[in-house]
Structure 1
């Protein structure tokens, strides 16, 4: 049987293609063709998986790893799932901190401007900005 670059959506189509010109097909030939299809399928699957996902690897001290194991046990999840959650939460928290910082600076600017110009502070505006900041808190 020849190796082909053609894509087959399932095993049946692959077997039909492989044995379309064969008169006598033995069980051994079918077994070999199935093994070849499995290799092709796994190769394509791994390629698609690598295109979609990125593997991240890092090292930590054994004591830190043990700490993560304990936390994961308490939450009834795997250590890798815990670390993934923590990394995503950390990134979201960083984004939230930036937005909170901007809102606080805006609020401070409004208050300073009102103080320097001897104006009364619009409490509804200040309250609205404080509510916005509160909603940004994790």
Structure 2
């Protein structure tokens, strides 16, 4: 299992959004987030990486899905995002694999070398409301992305 070093400096991205107990950095749309996350992983000098990804099934108290069509669209975008990220990391010389885990949460979460406990923290954390189309970056000992 790969261990990813802590963030070198978040000042190069955006100002962190503090939502206790986790701070987030907005990476922007998924296309930009792939490149920024790839650069973050490259700075950690890790030769291999396993991504832990949660895929929502359905949550009756969803904050961003009104019906099954919204849920399907979000999952589709997230899976495309994962594949783009894996391809970008592999083309940069990092052996990358991923695992998809069904979740009853309404959030798509990607953890680089993390565990289910880290994902559980992110699922229970209140997210900033004005970031519907953005990918959020959090540091819980390893980089984690929340795809809304």
Q: Could you state the TM-score of these two structures normalised by the residue count of structure 2? A: 0.23
Structure with higher RCO (Cα < 8 A, 6+ apart): 2
Q: Name the structure with the higher strand share.
A: 2
Answer with 1 or 2: which has the greater Rg. 1
Q: Name the structure with the higher helix share.
A: 1
Q: Could you state the TM-score of these two structures normalised by the residue count of structure 1? A: 0.24
